[in-house]
Amino acid sequence: MLGGISIWQLLIVLGIIILVFGTKKLRNVGTDLGGAVKGFKKAMHDEEKNKEGDQDDAPHAKVSHEEPGNTYDVKAEEKQAANDRHEERK
């Protein structure tokens, strides 16, 4: 027994919930809850991956082209390219 609640009492409560909310709404709630849990797990996995990557790599890479004094920040260039693409869409 679950603290004095029998299986019949749980079935009655479940039946009332289905009557009040309907099966479609309960299915949508279940789908939304499952999607939220899946998204949370994915975010946690991505965060762990980022932490491992930060420990292995330098914060950002510098690249040299042809001349020894000609270095630039790769991440800054990637950000600029992304901003340029975003501006083109507008």
Considering the domain architecture, whether residues 1 and 45 belong to the same structural domain is answered as yes
Q: What is the dihedral of CA 20, 24, 25, 30, to 10 degrees?
A: 120
Are residues 65 and 41 part of one domain?
no
20 and 51 co-located in one domain? yes
For residues 53 and 74, membership in a common domain is answered with no
Asked if residue 68 and residue 41 are part of one domain, the reply reads no
Domain holding 24, by residue range, is: 1-57
Q: Are residues 7 and 43 in the same domain?
A: yes
- Residues 53 and 78 occupy one common structural domain: no
d(CA 22, CA 18): 5
What does pTM read for this prediction? Answer: 0.41
- Residues near 18 by beta carbon (within 8 Å), at least 6 away in sequence: 26
| pLDDT (tens digit per residue) in 44-70 | 998 888 887 766 555 555 554 555 555
Based on C-alpha coordinates, what's the Rg of the chain? 27
Q: How far apart are CA 47 and CA 55, in angstroms?
A: 13
The total number of structural domains that make up the chain: 2
Mean pLDDT value of segment 14-21: 92
